Amino acid sequence: MHSVAEYLETAAQFDDLARLTFEPALRARYAHVAECYRLLASELQRLIETGALKPEQP
């Protein structure tokens, strides 16, 4: 399983790809993938905070 930080880092990478591409459809797709990774990070954080999952140790 990935950590919250890893999900957020991947989201930032897709944000960068979206910002750098000139193709509108690809830009929108990269932005959508970035948002999905932020959603995964948010959900994982919620599960950790509620005790449903334990955070991974570095």
- Quote the number of domains for the chain: 1
Task: Tell me, yes or no, whether 56 lies in a domain.
Answer: no
Residue 7 has pLDDT above 70, yes or no: yes
**Kindly report the CA angle at 9 between 46 and 35, in degrees rounded to 5?**
65
What is the model's pLDDT at position 43? 97
What is the model's pLDDT at position 58? 53
Residue 1 has pLDDT above 80, yes or no: no
Task: Tell me, yes or no, whether 58 lies in a domain.
Answer: no
Mean pLDDT across the stretch 4-9?
Answer: 96
Task: Tell me, yes or no, whether 36 lies in a domain.
Answer: yes
pLDDT in tens, 12-56: 999 999 999 999 999 999 999 999 999 999 999 999 999 999 887
Task: Tell me, yes or no, whether 57 lies in a domain.
Answer: no
Residues 6+ apart with CB under 8 A from 35: 11
Task: Tell me, yes or no, whether 12 lies in a domain.
Answer: yes
d(CA 21, CA 30): 9
Task: Tell me, yes or no, whether 15 lies in a domain.
Answer: yes
- Segments forming the whole domain that contains residue 9: 4-49
